[in-house]
Amino acid sequence: MALVTVTDSARDYLAQLIEKQDVEGMGVRIFVTQPGTRNAETCLAYCPPNEVVPTDEQVDLQKFTLFLDHNSVPFLEDAYVDYSKDQMGGQLTIKAPNAKVPQVSDDAPLPERVNYVLASEINPNLAAHGGDVSLVEIVEESVAVLRFGGGCQGCSAVSLTLKQGVEKTLKERVPEITAVRDVTDHSNTENAYYQ
């Protein structure tokens, strides 16, 4: 079963929302739209008894049942749902590090492990600047050849991002990687975050 953590504060908050629906046996379904793609999103939705799918995995959270969409299960591994109160009321947060790429095993092929780290750790950070990076190939001596896109293409800070961010993280998470090389044409600065 996928390990989905729902904090006590999130459970209590969701239970309050469910109570307002006034439907006996109402639960919550967690699922991933477009799983395994860069556009994957993790979602929560009410799940009345007549919409329960027999293949869903069920987690009893005491106050309600959490239904894990069967097709989303591999992408929900290590998902985390939390609620924190703030001045505006509160914030429900859903983190699913494996939504875009399902977690790979330590003995998976090198390109799969590199792509997993790019999708789950590096690209979410680059997305804040409208950027992304993808693996082109792995060449001799385990050098990862990468291509930057979006706000990273032509960005004046890309060499710092490459060495201090991308290379450092890839070498820590995938020890076989000895270096990274950027093959992006940075002369095109049209979408660059820093020019």
Q: d(Cα 80, Cα 48) in Å, to the nearest integer? A: 22
Q: Point out the annotated binding site.
A: 152, 155
Binding site for [4Fe-4S] cluster, residues? Answer: 152, 155
DSSP per position, 25-57: T-EEEEEEESTTSTT-EEEEEEE-GGG--TTSE
Q: At 169, which amino acid appears?
A: T
